[in-house]
Amino acid sequence: MVTFNELIHSGRLVLVDFFATWCGPCKMMPPILKELKNSVGDKATIIKIDVDKNPEVARQFQIQGVPTLILFRNGKVLWRQSGVVPAANLKQVIEQHA
């Protein structure tokens, strides 16, 4: 199994959704991410990280609020935003960096 660090340090674009199970706005993200995946296909890998189950990763990236979305490539943060982001906006961000 590929680790989180291996994944974000790969040459691929990786969009990470930092979320919590108790967070209301976070519950709005799965259908948005599904729509995004359908529209960007293999341009980006999309993963979800539960901040309560992965506190060290949340600390590493200073996640203060959830949901927080971060786009990585080669371990670098290319883009970051907190809150619910519409699929169309996420698609634009991915295409800017693809």
Predicted local distance difference test score (pLDDT) of residue 13: 98
Provide the CB-side half-sphere exposure for 20 (13 A, CA): 13
Catalytic option among 7, 10, 23, 25: 23
Annotated catalytic residue: which of 14, 26, 58, 85? 26
**DSSP-assigned letter for residue 56:** H
- Binned at pLDDT 50, 70 and 90, residue 2 comes out as confident
89 carries an active-site annotation: no
Percent of the chain scoring above 70 in pLDDT: 100
Instruction: Look up 60 and say whether it is catalytic.
Output: no
Domain ranges of the chain: 4-97
Going edge to edge, which strands form the sheet with 68-73? 44-50, 13-19, 68-73, 76-82
What is the model's pTM?
Answer: 0.96
Phi, psi angle pair for 4, to nearest 5°: -55, -45
User: Phi, psi (5° rounding) for residue 74?
Assistant: 55, 35
Compute the average pLDDT of residues 72-98: 97
Q: Class of the 4-97 domain?
A: alpha beta
